[in-house]
Amino acid sequence: MALLSISEPGQSPKRSQAKKYALGIDLGTTNSLVASASADGPCVITDQDGAALLPSVVAYLGKDKPEPVLVGEPALKHAEHISSVKRLMGRGASDIKHKLSYTLVEPETGGMPLIETQAGLKSPVEVSAEILKVLAARGKSYLGKELGKEVDKECDGEIDGIVLTVPAYFDEAQRQATKDAARIAGLKVLRLLSEPTAAAVAYGLDKKLEGNVIIFDLGGGTFDVSLMRLEKGVFEVLATGGDTALGGDDFDRAIMRWVQEESKVEPKQEQIAELSSIAREAKHTLSNKDAVELNFSGWSGILSRENYYQLVDPLIELTLKACRRVLRDAAMKVDEITDVVMVGGSTRSPRVQEKVERFFQRPLLNELDPDQVVALGAAIQADILVGNKYDSDLLLLDVNPLSLGIETMGSLVEKIIPRNTTIPVSRAQEFTTFKDGQTVMSLHVLQGERELVEDCRSLAKFELRGIPPMVAGAAVIRVSFQVDADGLLSVAAEEKSSGVKSSIVVKPSFGLEEKEIESMIKASHREAEHDRDLRRLKENEVDALRIIEAIDSALAQDAELLDTSELKALQQSLSALQETLKSGDADLIQQHSEALNELSATFAARRMDSQIKSAFTGKTLDEVDR
């Protein structure tokens, strides 16, 4: 006989549940980390030498070598190593504006560039997967051995999933590429988590922060700024901004350009890695010294801290511009910010700290290691998502960075999910057909802030087929947009009377340039009035075309219902509207459309009477009642 579990009144019976094991991974441009969380709190997992940071560097040596692939410090010793691959994720070859130490090959089909290696052509996704494999192995080793024999038996060195962090301003292509890299590495992604949100989780739980918090995240290759409201375990992103091609690497490149200008030496491709290393060391030295001596290819020179500031201040100003935009988006002033959290290795720069502190007019929070805080927050979220209880209830409310919409007649963009909408989110809108008998609808998914298709970024196209042939405007097509917690988009369309459906998971071949993102937002403000006027013109043109098509169709069928003078007047008004369409004058088009509508009202009434008489002709009252 089975035992019945009972408990004290008002208490739930305790159930034994095997602990699940998850990891938080910060896949960085310069360095990457893995962390784990338990009831005692989160911790970063180190390698056998006690190092927490894994350089995001990969070297392919060829299949005939004992170790065909090297990752991290060992890879740095090889001249042909691949670094900063995060900047290539979800990008096209034309998006890469600077000289690299390795060769890119643009695929014939387009999309992300391939990298020439001794093991053949490799995609940025494959290279990122190698970094993730090493981090996962480090995590599995920790969970399987460091926690004791009992745990070793339970988890058998396996993990139930990971939370992988991405810059808040990564678009759909960049997020999807990151998720694909994890899948290639054999990892189950529980969630893609924005890096500033992960940092807020770690700081919020560690420091018990409350209020309006800025997360300023400047890493090796990406920059994010998020404004969050933290209140009683709820982490709500109010607005986000940034640049996925701005970071410490750009500080290094500013020094590299200075060396080139001063030395008059144009580095060969095989010298770029060496010059980059010299620049990085100089940057670190100038944090503590007033000047540094640089030596490259027989040239030597002195870079002062003052000159260095002149090189990097424009880059820091770009981060502050993004901060201003985020404040404006959230309709908030600087004095309403309660805390500023500094995240990312590049925030160690005294100049960055000085500028940010002056901008927000308050002391900065940087007590937690800026390199580790993102991975720690990801580990906390991973532990919760696999079902382990944590010592604090936690609700994360993130946002999508840019508006998502669909193309409508007249090359207009109908926004369905506006930017800075809390995700996950699902929104739907109903559309209809433009022509009589239309059985196919082409759907064009777009991203951006402007009113016209040509000013936004195309994400995907698909078709809804099998629409029952009806008169224009009779079909009802429901288009649904869904953005999941990872920020990935799926779109579905359904014709409601027949139930025919079509859908697509948006996987663009490469993502947006950050200059494009910034210009989209700026242009949406600058061109707002122009866009409104242009949209009104396009809408009036579409309405006019619909009226013209409807009247042409009616005349072809029932012109005999009009006498000669009525027919002539209607045809003249029709011709006038067709001519007015060429004028580009929204008011004039509307005026002629209304005139034609008014003139055709009598014709429409006669057609209806005629159709009713035709329907009743030869039928008895009983037949009509039936």
Name, in order, each residue with C-beta under 8 angstroms of 321's C-beta and a sequence gap of 6 or more: none
Token digits of residue 507: 């996987």
Mean pLDDT across the chain, nearest whole number?
A: 82
CA–CA gap between residue 428 and residue 438 (Å, rounded): 22
E strand or H helix at 271: helix 269-285
Under DSSP, the state recorded for 487 is S
Asked if pLDDT for residue 68 goes beyond 70, the answer is yes
Convert the pLDDT of each residue in 211-242 to its tens digit.
899 999 998 888 989 998 888 777 888 888 88
| 538 is annotated as an active-site residue | no
Structure confidence at residue 359 as a pLDDT band (50, 70, 90): very high
Compute the CA torsion angle 127, 129, 135, 141 (nearest 10 deg).
Answer: -130
pTM of the model: 0.66
**Angle, CA 83 vertex, CA 81 and CA 89 arms, to 5°:** 125
Asked if pLDDT for residue 513 goes beyond 70, the answer is no
26, 47, 224, 383: the active-site residue:
26
Asked if pLDDT for residue 518 goes beyond 60, the answer is no
Across the range 565-578, mean pLDDT stands at 85
pLDDT value of residue 111: 75
Express as a percent the part of the chain with pLDDT over 90: 26
CATH topology of domain 404-511: Substrate Binding Domain Of DNAk; Chain A, domain 1 (2.60.34)
Domain 22-247+312-398, CATH number (from 3.40.120.10, 3.30.420.10, 3.30.420.40, 1.10.3720.10): 3.30.420.40
CA–CA gap between residue 375 and residue 34 (Å, rounded): 6
Express as a percent the part of the chain with pLDDT over 70: 86
Asked if pLDDT for residue 434 goes beyond 90, the answer is no
47, 126, 172, 217: the active-site residue:
217
CB 510 within 8 A of CB 95: yes
86, 122, 133, 140: the active-site residue:
86
In SS3 terms, 395-417 reads as EEEEECCCCEEEEECCCEEEEEE
User: Looking at per-residue confidence, does 405 or 525 come out higher?
Assistant: 405
Across the range 117-145, mean pLDDT stands at 89
Closest to 349 (Cα-Cα) out of 241, 200, 201, 216: 216
CA–CA gap between residue 213 and residue 327 (Å, rounded): 11
| 86 is annotated as an active-site residue | yes
| 195 is annotated as an active-site residue | yes
95, 195, 252, 495: the active-site residue:
195
CATH number assigned to the domain covering 529-616: 1.20.1270.10
Asked if pLDDT for residue 13 goes beyond 60, the answer is no
The whole-angstrom distance between residue 532's C-alpha and the CA centroid of its chain comes to: 26
Structure confidence at residue 315 as a pLDDT band (50, 70, 90): very high
| 622 is annotated as an active-site residue | no
Closest to 531 (Cα-Cα) out of 401, 403, 400: 403
pLDDT value of residue 9: 45
Least confident of 120-129, 173-182, 385-394: 385-394
* Domain assignments of the chain as residue spans, ordered by start: 22-247+312-398, 404-511, 529-616
CB 83 within 8 A of CB 56: yes
pLDDT value of residue 390: 55
